[in-house]
Amino acid sequence: MSRYYSFNDFMKDAITEADGMTRQRYGRSLEECYKVSPKTLHMVCSLIDNGWWVFTAVVALLAMSLFGFLATLTTFLLTPVGLIVASVLGVAAASKLKQLYHDRVLPQMIERVGSRFKPLWEAADGSRSRIDCLKEEAAREIADEAISWKRKLIGC
């Protein structure tokens, strides 16, 4: 599939382009800007690959308090969505989700941007030029938020 027919591919392309933008403009990857563990972006893209709804379900889980997250983690992994997440993340799904919880700022930002662009992507109705413009805009927004976050962390 391509970004013209799949919102999942659209978001993965926007994330990849945003990562390139932050590297070019700031000399750091998205993961480095957010100070998250090195495989976080790969986990995010793997979850998106299995459906935007799967990714948003995980982000909703990440929005809980630490106590709520830990209390519902096992139950979540037994739900149909949780089983998909477990198959995507592999044997150590619970520990990977715990790591993702600690690095939640990156997936939450991507979900926020994606949720804003999903209706725009749907309205573009396969128009290649419009979807290409939307991808550029989404990538720029992701990169700008990452650079802004990095500046907050270092106090610029």
Q: Is residue 2 part of a domain?
A: no
Owning domain of residue 47? 7-154
pLDDT computed for residue 148 by the predictor:
87
Q: Is the pLDDT higher at 62 or at 26?
A: 62
Nearest to 152 by CA among 60, 72, 34, 47: 34
What is the pLDDT averaged over residues 130-135? 97
Residue at 1 is within a domain: no
Return all residues near 131 (Cβ < 8 A) that are at least 6 apart. 3, 4, 10, 121, 124
pLDDT, one tens digit per residue, over 54-102 is: 999 999 999 999 999 988 988 998 999 999 999 998 888 889 999 999 9
Residue 136 lies in a domain: yes
Stretch 125-141: mean pLDDT? 96
Number of domains, the chain: 1
For 12-17, what is the mean pLDDT?
97
Predicted confidence at residue 58, as pLDDT, reads 94
User: Is 116 part of a structural domain of the chain?
Assistant: yes
35-42 long-range contacts (CB < 8 A, ≥24 apart) are 35/153, 36/102, 36/103, 36/105, 36/106, 37/99, 37/102, 37/103, 40/99, 40/100, 40/103, 40/106, 40/107, 41/15, 41/106
